[in-house]
């Protein structure tokens, strides 16, 4: 598998998919530049995600800045808790992720949730060594390393900012405006596709762990008391391997190949919205070229969940013999909105209208309570506040005191550890009737969070093929036509006798129709086919003598036709030039 990933990386660089950036200056790990084919593939994957998760779901997309001020990340918990475990080699000084050292060397498949003490113990127990130089790491301190890139906003250092480690916060902080846009109607889904930045301790495995990457996230705001949920009909039949905490604990640990409907019914995926989007995602990954035999959903163990997540599933793919996380599906509850509601001056709640207005009794105490003055001296003001709180929280204390037959009639409040008995008559207690048409509450959030770079790399890996054509080895990418960077290669059989002009015209015409075209007239035709095969171009059109009406005999084709060659089978057929665009469009749509 090392060979395979080396082949893929070599192909990626040679054919303009991606390469480590700034190589002229030695490069720096964790940053990649997408070349012409990579950028095309990435755009197509993003467009297809947008179409599936935004447009077809009736969600809306926003575009927030990548740098945000410190208070945002104070509230979100990232400043305090967005850490990875770092262990430094005492000999070569290289830093490593301590949980990765554990995962790479023993039978611990997942060490993320274990905590620094336990990870330190395991390193000691198994005598684990530095992946770079082989020195033993036992006894080295395991430190928390915050993954956010810090910067200064404006001159000086008085206004720290951070490059966003996830796109999600850019959606949450704007919720007070977004809820107005949605006119307080839930469910309401907001998506964003954009760069996120994490100062990974040790970037590795090519695009799979980088320091700047693209996320495609959906934050779906739901009313937790809305019993209706999504219409699961469209996804119930989607089959995927579901790998719950129970199966992970079991000895065989095999995922269950079941439908989304079953996974939900069995309570394996409890939340209906999570179930719904697992189904949507499985179909989407399949559509962009992920091999469903090397794909699974895995539920997080409790220790592994992020600081905000109540339940979490990952979509995982097998790449180079490892299972890697493609996406996380988290039930974030009201964690984020409650934090921003608390830390900012804005109101993050949504108004829920009752079916019928509800009339309730609201107890009040006289806010002034000047009568308390003489009886309690300087403490009177504090006691008044404590009484007002008590009236809200435990109104029965007043009612009970009012009807107290012993004649005591006092309520007890505590101020700074001292208890005071206040005669209820002096509190000005009364009960008011109020009618309310609804209430304010914080929506809960369901979040499918997908990484585009990992999806792209997985698609390349899963679509990579080697076979033999005419006794020659060939490499090709079996990319779905909908994501292939180039849809069609157009070649003149040779660039003479007007074939070149005709082919250039065909190419221009197809471009006009919105198809992505590669024109190529250099080298043997077989070589040109191979070049397109290698970058996953699904169709090649060849203009020959028949096209220009100069075939020597009919076997060479009807006048006005071209050959269309299909990448995977290499089969060719003839099509009239005037039908070409329509035929290719139909083939592309599948
Ligand atoms: P990991 O455990 O692999 O570090 P994570 O659980 O921290 O990932 P999330 O915070 O759930 O990842 O981020 C959502 C998605 O963003 C991931 O599923 C992944 O596709 C992508 N992602 C996260 N970190 C990286 C990275 N360093 N490089 C590339 N993609 C990433």
Q: Does a cis peptide bond (omega within 30 degrees of 0) precede residue 187? A: yes
- pLDDT bracket for residue 371 (50, 70, 90): low
pLDDT at residue 114 in the model: 83
- Report the nearest-CA residue for atom 20 of ligand 1: 451
Nearest partner of 15 among 35, 30, 31, 1, judged by Cα: 35
Q: Is residue 325 classed as helix, strand or coil in its secondary structure?
A: strand
The last residue of one of the domains, among 118, 146, 174, is 146
- Report the nearest-CA residue for atom 23 of ligand 1: 451
Q: Same domain, yes or no, for 534 and 387? A: no
- CA–centroid distance, residue 451 to ligand 1 (Å): 7
Quote ipTM for the complex: 0.98
- Report the nearest-CA residue for atom 22 of ligand 1: 451
Tens of pLDDT along 315-352? Answer: 999 998 889 999 999 999 999 999 999 999 999 999 99
- CA–centroid distance, residue 449 to ligand 1 (Å): 9
Output 321 or 108, whichever has higher pLDDT. 321
Decide if pLDDT at 254 tops 90: no
In the block, which residue shows the tokens 């303009």?
16
Q: Same domain, yes or no, for 212 and 258? A: yes
Locate the ligand 1 atom nearest the alpha carbon of residue 327 and give its number. Answer: 18
Q: Same domain, yes or no, for 231 and 273? A: yes
- Report the nearest-CA residue for atom 29 of ligand 1: 209
Residue 127, exposed/middle/buried by CB under 10 A (0-12, 13-18, 19+)? exposed
User: CATH number for the domain including 221?
Assistant: 3.30.930.10
- What is the arithmetic mean of pLDDT over 154-174? 97
pLDDT at residue 411 in the model: 87
Asked if residue 264 lies in contact with residue 297, where contact means CB atoms within 8 angstroms, the answer is: no
Average pLDDT of every residue of the chain: 92
Mutate to test the pocket of ligand 1, among 166, 325, 456 (most ligand atoms within 8 A of CB): 325
Asked if residue 535 lies in contact with residue 477, where contact means CB atoms within 8 angstroms, the answer is: yes
The answer as to whether 349 is a domain residue is: no
Q: What is the dihedral of CA 488, 492, 494, 500, to 10 degrees?
A: -130
- pLDDT bracket for residue 370 (50, 70, 90): low
Q: Same domain, yes or no, for 69 and 110? A: no
Q: Same domain, yes or no, for 90 and 111? A: yes
Q: What b/e readout covers 169-206, taking b as 16+ CB neighbours within 10 angstroms? A: bbbbbbbbebbeebebebbbbbbbbbebbbbbbbbeeb
The answer as to whether 52 is a domain residue is: yes
User: CATH number for the domain including 533?
Assistant: 3.40.50.800
- CA–centroid distance, residue 138 to ligand 1 (Å): 28
- CA–centroid distance, residue 199 to ligand 1 (Å): 12
- CA–centroid distance, residue 207 to ligand 1 (Å): 11
Decide if pLDDT at 309 tops 70: no
Q: Same domain, yes or no, for 294 and 240? A: yes
Tens of pLDDT along 51-92? Answer: 999 999 999 999 999 999 999 999 999 999 999 999 999 999
Residues whose beta carbon lies within 6 Å of some atom of ligand 1: 166, 198, 200, 209-210, 213, 215, 325-328, 449, 451, 453-454
Q: Same domain, yes or no, for 223 and 330? A: yes
Decide if pLDDT at 253 tops 80: no
The answer as to whether 18 is a domain residue is: no
Give the global pTM: 0.89
Expressed as residue numbers, the domain containing 112 is 83-146
The answer as to whether 25 is a domain residue is: no
The answer as to whether 155 is a domain residue is: no
| 149 DSSP assignment | P
- CA–centroid distance, residue 19 to ligand 1 (Å): 20
- pLDDT bracket for residue 272 (50, 70, 90): very high
- Report the nearest-CA residue for atom 1 of ligand 1: 325
- pLDDT bracket for residue 421 (50, 70, 90): confident
Locate the ligand 1 atom nearest the alpha carbon of residue 330 and give its number. Answer: 11
pLDDT at residue 265 in the model: 94
- What is the arithmetic mean of pLDDT over 174-188? 96
Q: Same domain, yes or no, for 320 and 178? A: yes
Q: Same domain, yes or no, for 262 and 391? A: no
List 563's β-bridge partners, or say none. Answer: 542, 574
The last residue of one of the domains, among 146, 172, 201, is 146
The answer as to whether 323 is a domain residue is: yes
pLDDT at residue 105 in the model: 80
- CA–centroid distance, residue 325 to ligand 1 (Å): 7
Mutate to test the pocket of ligand 1, among 328, 331, 445, 450 (most ligand atoms within 8 A of CB): 328
Tens of pLDDT along 547-568? Answer: 999 988 767 889 999 999 999 9
Q: Same domain, yes or no, for 66 and 93? A: no
Decide if pLDDT at 32 tops 90: yes
- CA–centroid distance, residue 289 to ligand 1 (Å): 20
The answer as to whether 158 is a domain residue is: no
Number of domains forming the structure of the chain: 4
Give the CA distances from residue 411 to residues 147, 390, 414, 425, in Å, rounded to whole numbers and listed in that order. Answer: 52, 9, 10, 10
Number of H-type helices and E-type strands within the chain? 19, 28
Decide if pLDDT at 373 tops 70: no
Output 108 or 77, whichever has higher pLDDT. 77
**What percent of the chain is modeled with pLDDT above 90?**
75
Locate the ligand 1 atom nearest the alpha carbon of residue 451 and give its number. Answer: 20
Q: Give the C-alpha separation, 532 to 567, whole Å.
A: 8
- Report the nearest-CA residue for atom 19 of ligand 1: 451
The answer as to whether 568 is a domain residue is: yes
- pLDDT bracket for residue 362 (50, 70, 90): confident
Q: Same domain, yes or no, for 169 and 75? A: yes
Q: Same domain, yes or no, for 77 and 89? A: no
Mutate to test the pocket of ligand 1, among 49, 213, 451, 455 (most ligand atoms within 8 A of CB): 451
Locate the ligand 1 atom nearest the alpha carbon of residue 112 and give its number. Answer: 2
């Amino acid at each position: 598998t090392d060979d395979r990933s080396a082949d893929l990386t070599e192909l990626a660089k040679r054919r303009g998919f991606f390469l480590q950036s700034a190589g002229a200056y030695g490069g720096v790990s964790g940053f990649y530049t997408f070349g012409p084919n990579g950028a095309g593939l990435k755009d197509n994957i993003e467009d297809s995600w947008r179409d599936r998760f935004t447009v077809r779901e009736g969600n809306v997309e926003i575009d927030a800045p990548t740098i945000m001020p410190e208070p945002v990340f104070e509230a979100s918990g990232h400043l305090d808790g967005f850490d990875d475990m770092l262990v430094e080699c005492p000999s070569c000084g290289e830093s490593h992720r301590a949980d990765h050292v554990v995962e790479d060397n023993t039978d611990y498949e997942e060490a993320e949730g274990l905590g620094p003490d336990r990870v330190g113990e395991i390193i000691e127990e198994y005598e684990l060594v530095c992946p770079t130089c082989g020195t033993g790491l036992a006894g080295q301190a395991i430190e928390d390393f915050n993954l956010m890139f810090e910067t200064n906003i404006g001159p000086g250092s008085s206004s720290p900012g951070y490059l966003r480690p996830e796109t999600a916060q850019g959606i949450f902080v704007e919720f007070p405006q977004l809820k107005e846009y949605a006119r307080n109607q839930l469910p309401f889904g907001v998506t964003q596709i954009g760069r996120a930045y994490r100062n990974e301790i040790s970037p590795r495995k090519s695009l799979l762990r980088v320091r700047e990457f693209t996320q495609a996230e959906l934050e779906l705001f739901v009313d937790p008391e809305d019993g209706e949920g999504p219409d699961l009909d469209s996804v119930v039949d989607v089959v995927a391997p579901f790998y719950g905490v129970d199966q992970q604990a079991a000895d065989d640990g095999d995922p269950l190949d079941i439908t989304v409907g079953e996974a939900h019914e069995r309570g394996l995926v409890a939340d209906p919205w999570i179930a719904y989007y697992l189904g949507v995602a499985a179909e989407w990954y399949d559509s962009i070229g992920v091999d469903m035999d090397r794909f699974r959903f895995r539920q997080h163990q409790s220790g592994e969940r992020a600081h905000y997540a109540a339940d979490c599933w990952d979509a995982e793919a097998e790449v180079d013999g490892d299972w890697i996380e493609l996406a996380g599906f988290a039930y974030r509850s009201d964690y984020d909105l409650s934090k921003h509601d608390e830390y900012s001056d804005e109101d993050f709640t949504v108004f829920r209208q009752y079916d019928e207005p509800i009339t309730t009794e609201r107890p009040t105490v006289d806010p002034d309570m000047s009568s308390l003055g003489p009886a309690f001296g300087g403490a009177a003001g504090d006691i008044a506040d404590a009484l007002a709180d008590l009236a809200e929280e435990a109104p029965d204390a007043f009612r009970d005191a009012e009807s107290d037959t012993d004649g005591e009639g006092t309520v007890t409040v505590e101020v700074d550890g001292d208890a005071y008995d206040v005669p209820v008559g002096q509190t000005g207690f009364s009960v008011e009737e109020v009618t309310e048409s609804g209430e304010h509450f914080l929506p809960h959030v369901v979040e499918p969070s997908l990484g585009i770079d990992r999806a792209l790399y997985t698609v390349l890996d899963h679509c990579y093929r080697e076979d033999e054509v005419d006794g020659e080895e060939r490499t090709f990418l079996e990319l779905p036509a909908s994501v292939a960077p180039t849809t069609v290669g157009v070649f003149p059989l040779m660039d003479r006798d007007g074939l070149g002009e005709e082919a250039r015209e065909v190419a221009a015409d197809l471009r006009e129709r919105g198809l992505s075209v590669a024109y190529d007239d250099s080298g043997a035709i077989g070589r040109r086919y191979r070049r397109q095969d290698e970058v996953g171009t699904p169709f090649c059109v060849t203009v020959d003598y028949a096209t220009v009406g100069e075939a020597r005999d009919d076997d060479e084709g009807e006048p006005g036709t071209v050959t269309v060659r299909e990448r995977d089978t290499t089969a060719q057929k003839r099509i009239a030039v005037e039908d070409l665009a329509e035929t290719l469009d139909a083939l592309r749509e599948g």
